[in-house]
Every structure is written in structure tokens, then in C-alpha cells.
Amino acid sequence: MIEPDRVVQTTCPYCGVGCQVDLFVREGMIYRVNGRFDNDVNRGNLCVKGRFGYDYVHAPDRLQTPLLRTDRQANWQAVSWEVALDFVAEHLAHIRQRWGADSIAFLTSAKCTNEENYLLQKLARGVIGTNHVDHCARL
Amino acid sequence: MTNSIRDIERAQVLLVTGSNTTEAHPVLSLQMKKAVRKHGAKLILVDPRRIELADFAWLHLRQRPGTDVAIFNAMAHVIIAEGWLNRPFIETRTEGFAALETAVKPWTPARAEAISGVPAEQIVAAARAYAQAERSAIFWAMGITQHTTGTDNVKALSNLALLTGHIGRPGTGLNPLRGQNNVQGACDMGGLPNVFPGYQPVVDEAVRRKFAAGWGVPYERLNEHPGLTVTEIMNGVENGRIRAIFIMGENPMLSDPNLNHVREALSQVEFLVIQDIFLNETAELADVILPAASFAEKSGTFTNTERRVQLIRPALSPPGIAKPDWQIITELANRLGANWHYTHPREIFAELAALTPQYAGMSYERLEKGGLQWPCPTPDHPGTPILHVEKFARGKGLFCPVDYRPPVEETDETYPFILSTGRILFHWHGGTLSRRSPGLDEIAPVAEVEIHPQDAHRLGLQDGELVRVSSRRGQVVATVKCTGRSPVGTVFMTFHFAEAAANLLTIDAVDPTAKIPEYKVCAVKVEKVKVGESVAK
């Protein structure tokens, strides 16, 4: 039996049921997932994705650094956060100045947290000044 | 959901329609099976496909895709004509009954049979069982909403609940099953063009003043005009209205309808930023990619299909210099003139709870002890497992008469099959996550097109052969699966496989109110791929 470095209680990332899970972590890897019993959502049950579908977290092609290109035909350049965020901010500011706030649109995410969805629409509405905010709820 | 997951087993009749629950919401479906097997509940399945739930069904109505309103109107007709309605409930809790009565009068079961292909006596039996039980609950998913008549379909279901009073009590309710893990939360948090968090309308001046004050920004900055939806944003690029798109954690190049059109729009837009954990099909078109953290690498909350807000907790560090989305957005906002100081998602949650009435009583401290279902207006409120107990959000429940409209694209000689799209158990949405999990991808490695054995025989197709599926918008190559799950004349594909993206075929006609694309019905043809013919990916 492998001894976990830690067991972390969290919520399954797949469907809208929101099963409660324990992630067993050893040396930076999730190696086992159990359903938790102490709730009215899944009461210990999990589906095949919720129990075995976590390899993507460790996938070798996870994005690790910001990537940027000045021409869509060119290759990606790995850059620092400073460079990437300055570049995004400059372009958004420029486009807003030239074409108005309503020339910029934001897609939030049904896979991100409440806090992140809240912040992105706050950025769109309160900083940029547009209501062009939507996500894939309909899809 | 108006009701809760644990409540499902209390229903005596479950009407499940447009939801392949055992594959798309497997753990929730366990409660449905328990209701049937342990408590003897009757399951009425209304679905063109013979999905696994059919094995548990007391009655399976297999309608022609897109004819849902005809069936539900006919059920309302039977309930009224045979007197199974709940008169005290209609009198005290609803309004508009007379209009509904008039509207469904011509919807005899025989007329619905002519349109839907479902035998009239099955419609009568379903109506009687649903109305006569003390506790009946309705469940649906995208099979009801992804139609140009999606809003009408939901209204037709809601009329049934109001006629019988099957709402506001345990074991009843109108229960849409939300697909993505936090689609409920993304809507609650104002990830929609017409509302701030908590569904507070952007057109309401008092609401804009409240958010301007809460966010410390000039009132004039908050736009009073509702914005554009996803599909409208893509169209907006083509007419020059949209110049930049910022996409967080979405892959429209697989999930949107009519992908060739989406590709054109995203290639044309002046500036495209993608914030994601993978370089997905959409990111390949971007100018900048910002690497985010996965669910296992950050704190935050998700809100499930029963409105329950639950914590996620970090188990790992993000790879390389990737960061949680909330940190990236904060740093970007500050470069655009904001002055945000969030150091942990709990601070963001405290702010959003103060501005979102449904979440007002919640805090990380409370959520540490377990999830809470909104509305939860005060710190001592226990949360709300069942909505509409005493009254509806608008006061009285309004009957909404709807009429049947056929789908936008009908079959013809050139495109003789109906294509319907959906999910399978082993994969998830655009496949970005599940296809990187070898255990899952090994079980379901290729895109299949399900076709009825009679149709396969007529076209000379064998199981496992490659076919080309084409619509007026595009074509894909997929593997034939001969199965009675699909009715004759209808084929089914998932949208999990980028190499055979079903959304190259789907139509971008949308419901006029909800703007949902009609993923469940478009016209296609199916042809064998000849030996030696090159297969374009």
C-alpha cells in the first residue's frame, strides 16, 4: 500500500453533479481518488471519469509558460509573465481607445471557479466597460 | 434544479427527457435507479434514443427529434380533459390557466402522434401517471434545450408541473441537469451578457449604481446595454464590431456550432488571448496564451446542478510558471488601471457574496463544514434544498402556452438523416481532459457514428467501417456503429473528438430567447468511404 504524502478533500472537475472526492497525492502525483461519504451529493459513489480521469493534470503537454507571437504565422515564443501581461494590456487598451469598449469580448468558463468567473466579468464590466461576456452554458 | 439530488429517490414518478443521465450525470442517475428499484417509482423516459435508462423505464416514448412540444402539450391536454389537474394549486399559486386551457385544447394525443410518431395511448398513459402520483419530478438536460424551440420545450414542461402542483415539495420539481462542473456558478457569477452576478440585470440603473459603488468604479463606466452571446460575438467579428476576444478555459473551436464559421471569425479577429491549461484547438489561432492552473492546483468554489456551492482545495503546484486564473486576471486588471489586492480566493468570495443576494450568507468558514445550496441570504440561513415552496420568484407561477414549431433544418433527398449530438460516459465535452487520460481513451478511442441496423443494411455498411458524414456546412469521417440505440432515420455522434468534430456539421440556428444552437437536429447524409480514398482530417 502506497502511503500518501497528503490526502486533499475537493470537488470532482467533470460534470455538474459535484461529487466530493479525496485526492491521494505522493511526490506531486495524484495516484488514487476516493469518493467521500460525508455529503448528500455522491455518498461515496464516483463514475469512471471521477475515479480514473485525472491523468490530464500531469499531462506532459500542460502549458507551463506564457506564449506569445507577433504574427499568427510565426512560431510561439515562451516569455515571462511581465512581457505577456504587458503585451495583452497594451493591446486591449489600444483597441478600446481606437474602437471603443464594446469592441472587446470576454468568454468566461464553466470549468473555472466562481471566484474566477466573477473576476473576469468584473474586469470586462468594471475595468473595460463592456457587457460582451458569455460562456458555453448553451453549448 | 428546483429540488435536490438526495430528493430524487422520494419521487413516485420520474419524467426524464432529453437527458442521457447514466452517461452524462452518472452519479445522479444512481438516485434515479434507486427510486425505481428500491422504492418502485415509475420512470417515464421521453427520448428518441434507446439509452441505458430505457432498461429502467416503465414507459419509453421515442419521439421524432425536435417534436417535444407536441408531446408535452398533448400531455397537458389529457390532464385537463380527464380532470387530473390540481385545482387548489392552480387557484392559489398560478395565473394564466385559461390561456393554457385554450392553447392545448387542439393538442389531442392523436395530433401529437401524427407529428412525433409516439403512439397516442403512450402519451395518455404518461400524462395519467405523471398527474396521478402524489410526487412526480421532471428531469431534463440538453436534449430539451439544444433546439431552436428550447425555451418552448422548457415552458411546455413547466406547464405540466403547474397543472399538477408537482413543484415546491420533496420528490417533485423541474430539474434541469447542468452539464459542466461549474456552469451553474458561471451563470450565477454574471458570465452572461445581460446580467451582473446574481442575475441582476445590466439594464437596471439601481443595479448598476450598486455595482459601481461595490467595485469603486465610476457609474458611467458600467454599460447599460446587454452584450452579445457567444454565437453573436463570432458574427460580430465578421462585421467589424468585435476586434478583440479574451477566452478563459473554453474551446469554441470544438464546442461551438458550425466550426468552419468559428474558425473564420477567430482567424480574422484582430487580437485573441487564450487562458487555458492546454494548447487546444482554439489556442492554435491565438496571439497570446496564458498558462493557467488546473482544479487540483488552486482554491475556489464550484456550484453544482442543485445550486450547492462547494470548495475546491489545492493538492499540487501548477506546472512551470503557470498560475491560477484569478491571479492572472488580477494582474491584468491592475495593468489596465484597476487597483485590486486579492491574495486568496476567500477574499474574492467575500466580495462577491456581498453583491450577490443568493450567496450573501455564505463564507469559506461555513463552506469548510460542507456545501450550501443557494439562496442562502444570511449567515445563519441553512441554505435552500427546494425552491418555490411557498411562492415563485415572480409571485404566482405563470402558465406559458407554447405552440409546436418544427426544427429549422429538415431532412430531404440529399440529406436524408437527422443528426443528433451528445456525450458518452468515457469522455468529456471537447475531450481536452478525458482524451489525455489513457485509461479512458483506451476504452473509447475513436469517434463513432451510431446508426440503426436497418439504415446500415440499406446503405451496405458494416460495423467498424469508415463513413463520411456530411451536412450543408461540413463533413467528417467516423466509424460506423450499428445499434438499435438510434431510431431509424437518425444518426448520433459525440462532440468529444477533434479529429471528427461533430460541430463541423451542426447548424448555428439558435433559439430566439436563449440563443442555444440546435445541436440535436440537423440534416446529414452518410456515405461509405471507398477503399484507397484519401481521408482528409
Distance from CA of A5 to the nearest CA of B (A): 10
Angle (CA) B476 B481 B484, round 5°: 125
Alpha-carbon gap, residue B311 to A22, rounded angstroms: 12
- Grid coordinates given for A77: 515564443
- Nearest-10 crossing angle of helices B68-81, B109-116: 170
CB pairs A-B closer than 8 Å: 441
DSSP string, chain A: -PPPSEEEEEE-SSBTT--EEEEEEETTEEEEEEE-SSSSSSTT---HHHHH--GGGG-TTB--S-EE-SSTTSPPEE--HHHHHHHHHHHHHHHHHHH-GGGEEEE--TTS-HHHHHHHHHIIIIII----EE-GGG-
Distance from CA of B157 to the nearest CA of A (A): 19
Contact B440 A13 (CB under 8 A): no
Judge whether residue A69 has pLDDT over 90.
yes
Option in A11, A59, A126 nearest B302 (CB): A11
Give the largest Cα separation in chain A, rounded.
62
Distance from CA of B518 to the nearest CA of A (A): 10
- Tell which of B1, B246, B341 to mutate to test the A interface (max A CBs under 10 Å): B246
At residue B537, the pLDDT reads: 43
Q: Which residues of B touch A103 (CB under 8 A)?
A: 241-244
Q: In sequence order, what are the beta bridge partners of B306?
A: none
Rounding to the nearest 10 degrees, give the CA dihedral for residues B434, A9, A119, B427: 10
Give yes or no for B305 touching A (CB within 8 A): yes
Strand pairing of B13-17 and B136-140? parallel
On the 0-12 / 13-18 / 19+ scale of CB atoms within 10 A, B480 is buried
Give yes or no for A89 touching B (CB within 8 A): yes
Distance from CA of A3 to the nearest CA of B (A): 15
Distance from CA of A86 to the nearest CA of B (A): 7
Query: For residue B497, what is the enclosing H or E element?
Result: none
Domain boundaries, chain A: 6-58, 63-94, 100-139
Angle (CA) A39 A41 A42, round 5°: 90
Contact B27 A129 (CB under 8 A): no
Q: In sequence order, what are the beta bridge partners of B98?
A: none
What is the mean predicted confidence (pLDDT) over A83-92?
98
Option in A39, A54, A101 nearest B223 (CB): A101
Q: Which residues of A touch B248 (CB under 8 A)?
A: 106-109, 112, 116, 120
DSSP string, B350-372: HHHHHH-GGGTT--HHHHTT--E
Q: What is the ipTM of this complex?
A: 0.97
Strand order in the sheet with A29-35: A6-11, A20-26, A29-35
Option in A12, A69, A125 nearest B181 (CB): A12
At residue B175, the pLDDT reads: 97
Q: A127 near B338, Cβ under 8 Å?
A: yes
pTM of the model: 0.95
Give the largest Cα separation in chain B, rounded.
70
Q: B405 near B393, Cβ under 8 Å?
A: no
Q: Which CATH superfamily is domain A6-58 in?
A: ADC-like domains (2.20.25.90)
Q: Which domains does chain B have, with CATH numbers?
A: 5-177 (3.40.228.10), 183-373 (3.40.50.740), 417-528 (2.40.40.20)
Strand pairing of B417-422 and B522-528? antiparallel
Strand order in the sheet with B300-303: B300-303, B308-312, B372-373
* Type of residue numbered B379: P
At residue A43, the pLDDT reads: 95
pLDDT tens digit at each of 537 positions of chain B: 999 999 999 999 999 999 999 999 999 999 999 999 999 999 999 999 999 999 999 999 999 999 999 999 999 999 999 999 999 999 999 999 999 999 999 999 999 999 999 999 999 999 999 999 999 999 999 999 999 999 999 999 999 999 999 999 999 999 999 989 999 999 999 999 999 999 999 999 999 999 999 999 999 999 999 999 988 999 999 999 999 999 999 888 888 888 888 899 999 999 999 999 999 989 999 999 999 999 999 999 999 999 999 999 999 999 999 999 999 999 999 999 999 999 999 999 999 999 999 999 999 999 999 999 999 999 999 999 999 999 998 899 999 999 999 999 999 999 999 999 999 899 988 888 889 999 899 999 999 999 999 999 999 999 999 999 999 999 999 999 999 999 999 999 998 988 888 889 999 888 988 888 899 999 999 999 987 676 554
Option in A54, A113, A130 nearest B345 (CB): A113
At residue B535, the pLDDT reads: 57
Contact A134 B193 (CB under 8 A): yes
Query: For residue B380, what is the enclosing H or E element?
Result: none
